[in-house]
A and B are shown apart, each in its own frame.
Chain A
Amino acid sequence: MTKNRLEIKNLHARVVDGESILKGLDLIIPKGEVHALMGPNGSGKSTLAKIIAGDPSYEITEGDILVDGESILGMEADERARAGLYLAFQYPVEVPGVSIANFLRLALNARRDEDDEIGVMEFYETLQAAIKELNWDDSILERNLHEGFSGGEKKRSEILQLLVLKPKYAILDETDSGLDVDALKTVSQGVNAARGPDFGALVITHYQRLLNYIVPDVVHIMVKGKIVKTGSKELAMELDEKGYDWITSQLAA
């Protein structure tokens, strides 16, 4: 069923007029599944995530990205988001002077018809539900987008937005880094709450620990711009024990 999946086909990509980073990458994330993506620093995980989201600083030289069977290469980042894609950034930016509430209202209204803007009650109920899921405080809504946020708070905000925007496919780029043990649990709970038959996710992480909370259906390992190994959740445990040398020596053999 090509209809219900996020599919990356033989993807080659580089920084605009620069170094090539992805070198023939294939990946399929069916709806209803959560896949983990692991790989050494600099292997291209964040680049892949941003390219899927439509970052214009990269260009695709070969291959395709399909959402439910349709290529999204011709779409700008905002169209892709409205088509159901979501990226929780490894390094979420700060946007001074823009409150989270105002920003999320714009983001939600961008998904609706011009004459059908979200009502005040509905909006606050949606926000409240997400905040509760993450054990967070209301006051966060009036704060400016990531201005003065701690590293962990930024990550939590990325998941808050995921719960409010309800994407079909989400990519979480090292959402666990910078979170304390308790926050890791609540944020994982938040992600698990989003899981269901209509939701697929790619969880990028360096640590097995996160995968104890968000248990993946499949684990992929990426090295130098390619998926080099795919397996079950046990693969992540093995990797945790043996390190990447184990994979790279296998590849060399």
Chain B
Amino acid sequence: MSDLPLDHPDAAKLEGMTHENQYNFRLAENYAFRSEKGLSKRVVEQISYMKNEPEWMLKFRLKALEIAEKKGRPKWGPSTVDTLNFDEIYFYIRPQDRQGTTDNWEEIPEEVRKTYQRLGVPEAEQRILAGVGAQYESEMVYHSLKEEWTRQGVIFLDTDTGLKEYPEIFKEHFATVVPPEDNYFAAVNSAVWSGGSFVYVPEGVEIEVPLQAYFLINAQSAGQFERTLIIGEKGSKFHYIEGCTAPAYTTDAFHSGVIEIIVKEGSRARYTTIQNWSHNVFNLVTQRAMVYKNASMGWLDGNLGSKTTMKYPSCYLMEEGARGEVLSIAFASDGQWQDAGAKMVHVAPNTSSSVVSKSISKGSGRSSYRGLVQIHEGAYNARSNVECDALLLDEHAKTDTYPYIEINEKTAHVGHEATVSKLNDEQIFYLMSRGIPEDEAAALIVRGFLEPVAKELPLEYAVELNRLIELEMEGSVG
């Protein structure tokens, strides 16, 4: 990424957006159905009824609701989460009458289509993606996979359709990676989930280009609870990318997805998130992968937007030789709290994990690294390395680190390194002495700081990340 053509065509899609207007695209709220505000048994039953689900799923939802009520909210994490009032949130908003998704952009309501066009989605689909899903409020409205991959048996559907069309594969894997008992927000999601992607990659199939899902929240006070389930059979390879955005409202919105990935023997999986929610969105997401023999899972997690994020992508390294990686970027500007990190659980011998976290805080922004490395007894020669670097752009910005390490195996090797640095005046002066204006110099330093992670992004996304960083950096120095 260090040497990106900044004039790359994809840079154009965010061209002209300033910090003030980048979230300024709200559309009229034309929904087909909206639940009453708040979370209740009635709302859960309504959702299940509207989706015409099998009985087991309704039972699962109601059970999850009970678990959530019993558990209560976590007592740790950003205190801002306490201000999220469920009674003010619509837990289900169906944007259109039609059941299910379409693979034809023309069939999507025009204004919704236009928003996706503005984000460059149909164009990216043509050029660089294997398949695209687009979720609007509570439902996926578009889902399409290129024929080449359909032919090889790849399944790429919205999760509701996945449940209907592939009930056996679905039931076998659903909620096995993240059960509702796991944490409060996973329980909430389990009760009201809607949308998300269902992906199945057959044995030996390597999808060379990414699959992407775009999540959009448009309605005021909306909740979005997608549920993604990805199964990579033996020796498969795939890369799934998730992008998120919403218009800025004065009321809070709530996004709480659950992503479950099963990476079977010898598979290589990657999941990338570029989260640019507007600053009124609570983003509380559970992402977890089960990684089996000699397989590898990589999470690349970019948290730029949202009001508060709590997100700790995790890998359970279940069998010998499994590898897990988390590359994390967090940018907390004024009023934002990014509580991001990683969780690596080593269950089997010769497993390895690596976490690189880069966070930036600006103004009243606050970023925290929260991580857990757990090594079970018998996980001989497990290796884990964690590196977290924080960059503070001014005196007010805050950062914290909560690295938890639990080792129950003598032969394990665990490394942890953390650094905190400030935007360096000498570096700024040096760059300025070459003719580069101060704000560009600061943005260059920030991009350099993120480079070890950003270079892992596909070019188009690295370009987009650069633009988002530039927007965030506007007026941040001087």
- Could you tell me if A144 and B440 are in contact, using CB atoms closer than 8 angstroms? no
- Could you tell me if B430 and A93 are in contact, using CB atoms closer than 8 angstroms? yes
CA distance A106 to B441 in the complex (A): 9
What chain A residues lie within 8 Å of B450 (beta carbons)? 97
Query: Given A96-B449, A98-B2, A99-B2, are A77 and B444 neighbors across the interface (CB < 8 Å)?
Result: no
What chain A residues lie within 8 Å of B444 (beta carbons)? 95, 98, 103, 106
* Selected contact of A77 from candidates B2, B7, B432, B449, CB within 8 Å: B432
Nearest Cβ in chain A — how far from B455, in angstroms?
9
Which residues 52-97 in B have Cβ within 8 Å of A in the complex? none
- Could you tell me if A101 and B3 are in contact, using CB atoms closer than 8 angstroms? yes
Is B106 at the interface (CB under 8 A from chain A)? no
- Could you tell me if A77 and B440 are in contact, using CB atoms closer than 8 angstroms? no
- Could you tell me if B3 and A142 are in contact, using CB atoms closer than 8 angstroms? yes
- Could you tell me if B448 and A82 are in contact, using CB atoms closer than 8 angstroms? no
- Could you tell me if A97 and B425 are in contact, using CB atoms closer than 8 angstroms? no
What chain A residues lie within 8 Å of B441 (beta carbons)? 78
What chain B residues lie within 8 Å of A99 (beta carbons)? 2-3
Is B473 at the interface (CB under 8 A from chain A)? no
- Could you tell me if A96 and B3 are in contact, using CB atoms closer than 8 angstroms? no
Nearest Cβ in chain A — how far from B475, in angstroms?
16
Q: Which of A51-59, A206-214, A223-231 contacts B (4 or more CB under 8 A)?
A: A51-59
Q: Give per-residue flags for B405-436: 1 if the beta carbon is below 8 A from chain A beta carbons, else 0.
A: 00000000000000000001111011111111
Is B203 at the interface (CB under 8 A from chain A)? no
Nearest Cβ in chain B — how far from A107, in angstroms?
4
Q: Interface centre among B2, B4, B452, by most A CB within 10 Å?
A: B2
* Selected contact of B433 from candidates A81, A98, A144, CB within 8 Å: A81
Interface residues on A, range: 35 or more
Query: Given A98-B2, A142-B3, are A110 and B448 neighbors across the interface (CB < 8 Å)?
Result: no
- Could you tell me if B432 and A81 are in contact, using CB atoms closer than 8 angstroms? yes
Nearest Cβ in chain A — how far from B239, in angstroms?
23
Query: Given A97-B2, A107-B436, A110-B436, are A77 and B445 neighbors across the interface (CB < 8 Å)?
Result: no
Interface residues on B, range: 20 to 34
- Could you tell me if A54 and B433 are in contact, using CB atoms closer than 8 angstroms? yes
- Could you tell me if A165 and B431 are in contact, using CB atoms closer than 8 angstroms? no
* Selected contact of A144 from candidates B2, B430, B435, B437, CB within 8 Å: B2
Query: Given A93-B424, A144-B448, are A103 and B435 neighbors across the interface (CB < 8 Å)?
Result: no
CA distance A93 to B7 in the complex (A): 28
What chain B residues lie within 8 Å of A95 (beta carbons)? 427, 430-431, 444-445, 448
What chain B residues lie within 8 Å of A14 (beta carbons)? none
Which residue on chain A has the smallest CB distance to residue B446? A97
Which residue on chain A has the smallest CB distance to residue B389? A96
Is A89 at the interface (CB under 8 A from chain B)? yes
Is A48 at the interface (CB under 8 A from chain B)? no
CA distance A56 to B2 in the complex (A): 28
Nearest Cβ in chain B — how far from A194, in angstroms?
16
Is B45 at the interface (CB under 8 A from chain A)? no
- Could you tell me if A161 and B434 are in contact, using CB atoms closer than 8 angstroms? yes
Nearest Cβ in chain B — how far from A39, in angstroms?
22
Q: Give per-residue flags for A107-147: 1 if the beta carbon is below 8 A from chain B beta carbons, else 0.
A: 10011000001000000000000000000000000101100
- Could you tell me if A78 and B430 are in contact, using CB atoms closer than 8 angstroms? no
What chain A residues lie within 8 Å of B447 (beta carbons)? 97-98
Nearest Cβ in chain A — how far from B371, in angstroms?
22
CA distance A144 to B2 in the complex (A): 8
CA distance A92 to B430 in the complex (A): 8
Is B438 at the interface (CB under 8 A from chain A)? yes
- Could you tell me if B434 and A102 are in contact, using CB atoms closer than 8 angstroms? no
CA distance A107 to B436 in the complex (A): 6
- Could you tell me if B433 and A77 are in contact, using CB atoms closer than 8 angstroms? yes
Query: Given A57-B425, A93-B430, A102-B2, are A107 and B435 neighbors across the interface (CB < 8 Å)?
Result: yes
What chain B residues lie within 8 Å of A50 (beta carbons)? 429
- Could you tell me if A78 and B437 are in contact, using CB atoms closer than 8 angstroms? yes
* Selected contact of B434 from candidates A57, A96, A103, CB within 8 Å: A103
**What's the A-B contact tally at a CB cutoff of 8 Å?**
92
What chain A residues lie within 8 Å of B438 (beta carbons)? 76, 78
Nearest Cβ in chain B — how far from A101, in angstroms?
5
* Selected contact of A54 from candidates B424, B432, B452, CB within 8 Å: B432
- Could you tell me if A76 and B432 are in contact, using CB atoms closer than 8 angstroms? yes
Nearest Cβ in chain B — how far from A201, in angstroms?
16
Nearest Cβ in chain B — how far from A153, in angstroms?
16
Q: Interface centre among B4, B7, B432, B435, by most A CB within 10 Å?
A: B435
Is A184 at the interface (CB under 8 A from chain B)? no
Is A87 at the interface (CB under 8 A from chain B)? yes
Query: Given A95-B445, A98-B447, are A110 and B427 neighbors across the interface (CB < 8 Å)?
Result: no
- Could you tell me if A87 and B435 are in contact, using CB atoms closer than 8 angstroms? no
What chain A residues lie within 8 Å of B2 (beta carbons)? 97-99, 102, 142, 144
Q: Interface centre among A80, A86, A89, A98, by most B CB within 10 Å?
A: A98
What chain A residues lie within 8 Å of B424 (beta carbons)? 93
CA distance A87 to B435 in the complex (A): 11
- Could you tell me if B452 and A77 are in contact, using CB atoms closer than 8 angstroms? no
CA distance A50 to B430 in the complex (A): 10
- Could you tell me if A110 and B430 are in contact, using CB atoms closer than 8 angstroms? no
What chain B residues lie within 8 Å of A142 (beta carbons)? 2-3
CA distance A80 to B432 in the complex (A): 9
Query: Given A55-B429, A102-B3, are A96 and B436 neighbors across the interface (CB < 8 Å)?
Result: no
* Selected contact of A87 from candidates B433, B440, B449, CB within 8 Å: B433
What chain B residues lie within 8 Å of A144 (beta carbons)? 2, 448, 451
- Could you tell me if B440 and A110 are in contact, using CB atoms closer than 8 angstroms? yes
- Could you tell me if B431 and A103 are in contact, using CB atoms closer than 8 angstroms? yes
Which residues 126-178 in A have Cβ within 8 Å of B in the complex? 142, 144-145, 161, 165
Which residue on chain B has the smallest CB distance to residue A147? B448
What chain B residues lie within 8 Å of A107 (beta carbons)? 434-436
Nearest Cβ in chain A — how far from B421, in angstroms?
10
CA distance A89 to B427 in the complex (A): 12
- Could you tell me if A78 and B435 are in contact, using CB atoms closer than 8 angstroms? yes
- Could you tell me if A93 and B433 are in contact, using CB atoms closer than 8 angstroms? no
- Could you tell me if B429 and A56 are in contact, using CB atoms closer than 8 angstroms? yes
CA distance A96 to B421 in the complex (A): 12
Q: Which residues of B contact A (CB under 8 A)?
A: 2-4, 7, 424-427, 429-438, 440-441, 444-445, 447-452
Apart from A95-B430, A97-B450, A107-B434: 12 A-B pairs, beta carbons within 8 A: A53-B429, A54-B429, A57-B425, A82-B435, A89-B433, A93-B424, A95-B427, A95-B444, A97-B448, A106-B440, A142-B2, A145-B448
Q: List 13 A-B contacts (CB under 8 A).
A: A57-B429, A81-B433, A93-B426, A95-B427, A97-B452, A102-B2, A102-B4, A107-B435, A110-B435, A144-B2, A144-B451, A145-B448, A165-B434
